[in-house]
């Protein structure tokens, strides 16, 4: 029995992870949960699971939380999470949160040599070079949670590096696959939030619509599997049934298929190397699978984030944090859909690359925030 702390328990990945943990009660005990700001949902989770730790990122809501749960292990995340990291009752930290603010805690978890799962794409890609370096130094393994990288992980098992020609990430193409440039000019928020296959939170749904999310996945594949960028391709696959493919030197292609549900890769990671039965929706082989070429030049956010990965240093962090801010502005109707990419390009060009250091994160965030406040033209 392993004790698991779930960071970001109230988001879409967090909820799926809770479902998986509930189905694995003979293997896992939920010892801690946290949320960014959703106190109501967090209290529901506490009521059901009674974890030792219950934390929230919001300072004002943490006071309410402490009033309701009068325990030394309840309250503000940054104040109490360090104690969970040195608690022998905590075996595993599962980061299901989003955004760049968990970079320092991911690195602290690695430093403490706790078992770790990272579904926080923004934090992992932003500081990926440092995270991977520290994990290798500590000889820790990382089983991917993302559906595409879970698929690659499984497809590469038992294969030699020199046999692999390339990996192929699949992308649904988002809700605007058939739109031309003019059609994208007046996209509404409700239109952008209609993902063709996945049910996700608002932020990642917009990132999927701009293909920014797919760009982060290209970097993630490079970091996780040490595969060169010129050996990572993307193909549009509208049904999201094939999650990734691996092409061998002899031209044969291996693919992993399952119904689009994040509980599949989460359960695989939490039970590896075993395979455990589940009651998730299964494939029906009476539907077509379609493929279309991916035009990276059509998707400016995709192009910029991949270029940032190749450049390294602080570039991925800069673009990811700027994208977070710009996406929030779009969701609050302050800029248009295409303005996300246009302003990302301005950030990319103006904010210089440095070597990544956790000590400089706050200064870099302020520089990006100031640039966006000063330079981004609002549409309201």
Residue 29 and residue 1: Cα distance in Å, rounded? 7
CATH number, domain containing residue 72: 3.40.50.720
Task: Assess whether 91 and 44 both reside in one domain.
Answer: yes
If you average pLDDT over every residue of the chain, what do you get?
94
Model confidence pLDDT, tens digit, residues 338-364: 999 999 999 999 999 999 999 999 999
Tell whether 38 is covered by a domain.
yes
Q: Containing domain of residue 254, as a range?
A: 148-311
In a domain, 369, yes or no: no
- Encode pLDDT of 112-152 as tens digits: 999 999 999 999 999 999 999 999 999 999 999 999 999 99
Q: Do 171 and 299 fall into the same domain? A: yes
β strands within the chain, DSSP E: 2-7, 28-35, 53-56, 74-76, 92-95, 115-118, 164-171, 232-236, 242-248, 253-257, 292-293
**Do residues 173 and 66 share a domain?**
no
Assigned token pair, 80: 């109490």
Q: How confident is the model at residue 189, as a pLDDT?
A: 84
In a domain, 282, yes or no: yes
Within-domain flag for 380:
no
Number of domains forming the structure of the chain: 2
Please report, rounded to a whole number, the percentage of residues in the chain having pLDDT higher than 70: 98
Is 371 a member of any domain? Answer: no
Asked if residue 130 and residue 176 are part of one domain, the reply reads: no
Q: Of 13, 35, 19, 21, which is closest to residue 96 (Cα–Cα)?
A: 13
In 172-321 the beta strands, taken as DSSP E runs, fall at 232-236, 242-248, 253-257, 292-293
d(CA 3, CA 7): 13
290 and 238, same structural domain? yes
Q: Is residue 278 part of a domain?
A: yes
- pLDDT digit string (tens) for 17-43? 999 999 999 999 999 999 999 999 999
* Residue 380 in this model has a pLDDT that exceeds 60: no
Query: Distance between CA 345 and CA 355 in Å, rounded?
Result: 20
For residue 366, give both structure tokens.
């302020």
Would residue 329 count as lying in a domain? no
Do 292 and 155 sit in the same domain of this protein?
A: yes
126 and 171 together in one domain: no
Long-range contacts at 52-59 (CB < 8 A, ≥ 24 apart): 52/89, 53/5, 53/80, 53/81, 53/84, 53/90, 55/80, 55/81, 57/101
pLDDT digits (tens, 9 = 90+) for 59-90: 999 999 999 999 999 999 999 999 999 999 99
Residue ending a domain, among 311, 334, 356, is 311
Q: Are residues 208 and 256 in the same domain?
A: yes
């Amino acid at each position: 029995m392993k004790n698991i702390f779930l960071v970001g328990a109230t988001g879409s990945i967090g909820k799926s992870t809770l479902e998986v943990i509930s189905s694995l009660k003979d293997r896992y005990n939920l010892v801690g949960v946290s949320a960014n700001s959703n106190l109501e949902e967090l209290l529901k989770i506490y009521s059901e699971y009674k974890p030792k730790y219950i934390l929230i990122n919001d300072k004002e809501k943490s006071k309410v939380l402490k009033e309701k749960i009068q325990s030394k292990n309840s309250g503000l995340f940054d104040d109490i999470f360090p104690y969970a990291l040195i608690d022998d009752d905590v075996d595993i930290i599962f980061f299901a949160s989003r955004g760049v603010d968990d970079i320092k805690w991911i690195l602290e978890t690695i430093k403490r040599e706790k078992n770790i799962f990272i579904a926080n794409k923004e934090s992992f890609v932003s500081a990926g070079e440092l995270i991977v370096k520290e994990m290798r130094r500590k000889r820790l393994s990382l089983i991917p949670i993302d559906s595409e990288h879970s698929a690659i992980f499984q497809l590469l098992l038992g294969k030699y590096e020199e046999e692999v020609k390339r990996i192929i990430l699949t992308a649904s193409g988002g809700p605007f696959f058939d739109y031309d440039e003019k059609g994208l000019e007046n996209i509404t928020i409700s239109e952008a939030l209609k993902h063709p296959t996945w049910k996700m939170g608002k932020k990642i749904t917009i990132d999927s619509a701009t293909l920014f999310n797919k760009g982060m996945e290209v970097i993630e594949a490079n970091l996780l599997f040490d595969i060169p960028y010129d050996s990572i391709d993307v193909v549009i696959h509208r049904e999201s049934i094939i999650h990734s493919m691996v092409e061998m030197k002899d031209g044969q292609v291996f693919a992993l298929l399952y119904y689009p549900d994040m509980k599949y890769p989460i359960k695989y990671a939490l039970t590896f190397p075993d395979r455990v039965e589940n009651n998730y929706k299964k494939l029906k082989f009476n539907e077509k699978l379609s493929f279309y070429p991916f035009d990276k030049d059509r998707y400016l956010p995709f192009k910029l984030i991949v270029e940032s990965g190749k450049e390294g240093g602080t570039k991925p962090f800069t673009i990811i944090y700027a994208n977070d801010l710009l996406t929030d502005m779009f969701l609050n109707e302050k800029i248009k859909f295409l303005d996300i990419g246009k302003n990302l390009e301005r950030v990319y060009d103006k904010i210089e690359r440095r070597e990544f250091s956790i000590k400089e994160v706050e200064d870099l965030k302020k520089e990006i925030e100031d640039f966006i406040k000063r330079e981004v033209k609002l549409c309201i």
